Amino acid sequence: MVAFTHNQQTTAETDWLCSPRIAEMLDLHIDWAALDKLVVIAAHPDDETLGAAGLLQRAARHGVPIEVVVATLGENSHPGSPTHTPAELAAVRAVELRSALERMAPDVGHRVLGMPDGRLSAHGTQLENEIAAAATHNSHKTLVVAPWSGDGHTDHDAAGAAAGRAARTTHSLFLEYPIWLWHWGSPGNDRVPWPALRRLNLTVEEQATKAAAISSHASQVAPLSPAAGDEALLSSALLSHFERSFETFIDAAGQFTRAGTAYSGWLQTQFNAIHIGGAEPWDPDSGYEQRKRSLLLGALPRASFNSVFELGCSTGALTAELALRSVQIVGVDASAEAVRTATKRTAAAGNTTIVQALLPDGWPAGRFDLFVLSEVGYYFSAGELSTVIDRMAASMLPNACLAACHWRHPISGWPLNGDDVHRQLRTDARLTRVDAHAEEDFLLDIFTFGNPP
């Protein structure tokens, strides 16, 4: 868990707004007409306002029924207060919550569960059951929205985790919203789930209503009294993160991107950021990576190939080993940073061409007898993956084969996961699987086009 305090120096809002990865976030697309209910979870009163005030207003305007479930009343926000006991703070914050909700969505229903502030993790199962109960009716048409499970505050993390489990159990749609991330995080922090971030642009009216709703939580944004221990919990610098013209949500399952969205600039920004300065984000020298490459190379049906095409070559670790078994090899990656590193790594081979391009549109010229799709298939949509197979079939040499290898654990923010990729490959009539290897961490399949050679 991240270690931080509310009164440490917050990350400057200008730093966030100047980040290309923030500027190029994909828009959050919600089909409001397809929703029967919005369930918003808050660990404490004000979470729902800071993180999702615009979303609440938008849902209300579209006539979507809303239920806000607040786990605790945040009674321990000022443990050293000389003027307010925890019980008195709970009463104050309950009134503030009602006021804020009335500003954002006057007809909203809400429930306070009364769980202990600061100890939500001990009540995860109860919270999960409460959220599941709220989402049960027409659950496939219910959107559950909760604090991000990686936010770094123990109650936020517990609420997000419980909501995620409840959404999976009820087959509900699911989004998360970060709060403390903007305080302790930074544009260069790799704990930020960058590919999953989605932007909800707010109207001027929605921004004004959000500001008024935030002011309703006076016990958090202003001092309780001049006395020591009664200081404002949320500084003006911290609050500036919630005065933006947009809200940010985490779409870990990749469910809320409009069909036909242009990904090119966004994809390049994501991959350049993780490879910046020649970085090796997946540690190619680790035992895991070396073993995986060895298994893939050992599974290839022939000792050598005339022409190899590696899709998503990253920094060229696998490319360099494939070059030893091919007359010529082409590696393509979306990241200019990765391409520079891969070019240096493979320069001595003399038979390697590394190209920066977005696939499938940037498909290279030439014909190939080996295609390598390793740790890249889940960055495509199902339709794009089908197009990739089309391009392979159109550019293959006789007896061509495909080696596919993918991580099986969750891939946050992308359309597919590793199992999805291999399921689609295995069911494509153009491919015949001739070898397979499955482990807890990854799948490896070898395919031929048509009948095996």
- What residues make up the domain containing 31? 13-261
Residues 316 and 216 in one domain: no
The per-residue pLDDT for 410 is 80
Residue range 287-293: average pLDDT?
A: 91
**Average pLDDT score over residue span 401-420:** 88
pLDDT at 1: 67
Scanning 18-170, the segments in alpha helix (DSSP H) are 20-23, 47-61, 86-104, 124-135, 154-170
The CATH number that applies at residue 413 is 3.40.50.150
Residue 270's pLDDT is 72
Residue 94 contacts residue 73 (beta carbons within 8 Å):
yes
Give the pLDDT band (50/70/90) at residue 336.
confident
Question: pLDDT-derived band of residue 199, with 50, 70 and 90 as boundaries?
Answer: very high
452 — pLDDT class (breaks 50, 70, 90): very low
- Chain center to CA of 302: 38
Q: 238 with 295, same domain?
A: no
Last residue of a domain, one of 245, 261, 277: 261
Please provide residue 50's backbone torsions phi and psi, each rounded to the nearest 5 degrees: -60, -45
DSSP secondary structure letter of residue 262: -
Give the residue carrying structure tokens 């298994």. Answer: 295
**For the residues 129-151, what does the mean pLDDT come to?**
91
Q: Does 278 fall in a domain?
A: no
Q: Do 334 and 240 belong to one domain? A: no
Band (453; pLDDT cuts 50, 70, 90): very low
Task: Name the 3-class secondary structure at 327.
Answer: strand
Mean pLDDT of the chain: 93
Predicted confidence at residue 382, as pLDDT, reads 85
| 155-188 per-position pLDDT tens digit | 999 999 999 999 999 999 999 999 999 999 999 8
- Within a domain: residue 6? no
pTM equals: 0.76
Amino acid 86: pLDDT: 97
Largest distance between two CA atoms of the chain: 82
Is 195 among the domain residues?
A: yes
Q: Is residue 280 part of a domain?
A: no
Q: Which pLDDT score is estimated for 55?
A: 99
Lowest mean pLDDT among 16-25, 41-50, 69-78, 365-374: 16-25
* Residue 270 domain-assigned (yes or no): no
CA within 13 Å, CB half, 379: 20
In a domain, 275, yes or no: no
By C-alpha distance, which of 171, 91, 111 is closest to 135? 171
Q: Positive or negative CA dihedral for 206, 208, 213, 217? A: positive
On whether residue 274 sits in a domain, the answer given is no
